[in-house]
Amino acid sequence: MPGLTLGDTIPNLEVETTHGRTKLHDYIGDRWTIIFSHPGDFTPVCTTELGKMAAYTEEFARREVKLLGLSCDDVQSHKEWIKDIEAYTPGSKVTYPIAADPKREIIKQLNMVDPDEKDSSGNNLPSRALHIVGPDKKIKLSFLYPASTGRNMDEVLRALESLQKAAKHKIATPANWKPGEPVLIPPSVSNEQAKRMFPQGFQTCGLPSKKEYLRFTQV
Ligand code: BEZ
């Protein structure tokens, strides 16, 4: 993803949303925030994605995470479309705001333009981009999917949990990690430091190299 990338501060853009106007920094406040774009309203994959996000709203709220959807359609279109999303996902309400971007300024600045997708007038459309923004308003993780591939919101939740745990405990999470499973001690932490940081102990994997870099602990 060229442009906005990991570690960058999210630009403080003014956005019009289904919940009114706001500036991104005001919306984020001091919370973890997920900003996710979709190519367009009233399209099939997007309807399933936003419905799934709505179904997971409680999960995100428990982790004190705010959500913000975004596409180029206007707010009135979003409000009409929400009725379809909720009908498709019974029992779920779209309680998170969806931002509008008819001028395509926000998707450019947030690095969410899909060069392969255009509307009937030849205007750019957003990719399925997703930024997880930390309470410091910096980008901690980005996904970039094409229009044809709906995102897995379980993976969004899993990645978020990894980020939050890493920020809190200075750990890292292994491939296919799931919440509750052992975590890894990063290479920047010496064994001496690890003993202080993780009084619960840690296990070092014996490896042919005899290097002690694969260390698991539980947090
Ligand atoms: C969809 O959401 O289904 C979609 C949107 C734009 C292009 C292709 C698929």
Pocket of ligand 1 (CB under 6 A): 39-40, 43-46, 117, 147-148
CA of residue 145 to ligand 1 center, whole Å: 11
Which part of the chain has CATH 3.30.1020.10?
170-219
pLDDT at site 1: 44
Which part of the chain has CATH 3.40.30.10?
14-151
According to CATH, what is the number of the domain 14-151? Answer: 3.40.30.10
Give catalytic status of residue 205 as yes or no: no
Give the 3-state DSSP-derived string for 159-211, with helices as H, strands as E and coil as C.
HHHHHHHHHHHCCECCCCCCCCCCEECCCCCCHHHHHHHCCCCCEECCCCCCC
**pTM for this one?**
0.96
pLDDT in tens, 73-97: 999 999 999 999 999 999 999 999 9
pLDDT in tens, 94-123: 999 999 999 999 999 999 999 999 999 999
Which sign, positive or negative, has the C-alpha torsion 32, 37, 41, 47?
A: negative
pLDDT at site 2: 55
pLDDT at site 31: 98
| Multiple choice CATH, 170-219, 3.40.50.720, 3.30.390.10, 3.30.1020.10, 3.30.465.10 | 3.30.1020.10
CA of residue 128 to ligand 1 center, whole Å: 10
